[in-house]
Amino acid sequence: MIQAFSMKSTGKRGAGKCLNDIERLEIISKLQQSNPPSKRAIAREYNIGESAIRKLWNQRELVLQRTQDIPDSSRASVCRRTQAWFPELEDCLYKWIDTMRRLKLEVPPTLVIAKAREISNTLNIAEEDFKAP
């Protein structure tokens, strides 16, 4: 008996199955073999679209670079990862919040927003580029 492969389309971008980083690395590994399976076969195996496999293959360097610093325990739970627009600002803000919490001081959202604005001014980030809520 032959089973038809169908993916229910909702018409929304990103509405399909979400791969975690372990699955992404497995797919890249399979495609790097000397005699790799077809992208269509891999798509069926992971129940995702063939275009998702092609996109992953085209972005494999970014995925490999991004995942090398992540512990294996976290790779299974990470489905989507966004790039920070202002990584230096986020690092400074995270350290400040961490320090405040270690000192057992209250950190209300308004104070975090004010600190984010202060840090953005220190880093010479234009106001039109960075908007704290």
pTM (2 d.p.):
0.52
pLDDT for 11-52, tens place per residue? Answer: 555 556 788 888 899 999 999 999 999 999 999 999 988 999
What does the alpha-carbon distance between residue 75 and residue 35 come to, in Å, rounded to a whole number? 26
- Alpha helices per DSSP H over the chain: 21-31, 39-46, 50-58, 60-67, 72-75, 87-102, 109-122
Residue tagged 């490999």 (tokens):
64
Please give the structure tokens belonging to residue 58: 């085209």
Question: Is the pLDDT at 8 greater than 70, yes or no?
Answer: no
What does the alpha-carbon distance between residue 9 and residue 23 come to, in Å, rounded to a whole number? 21
Q: Is 37 within 8 Å of 53 (Cβ atoms)?
A: no
What is residue 36's DSSP assignment?
Answer: P
What does the alpha-carbon distance between residue 133 and residue 113 come to, in Å, rounded to a whole number? 7
For 84, how many CA atoms within 13 A lie in the half-sphere containing its CB? 10
pLDDT for 72-86, tens place per residue? Answer: 766 666 666 666 788
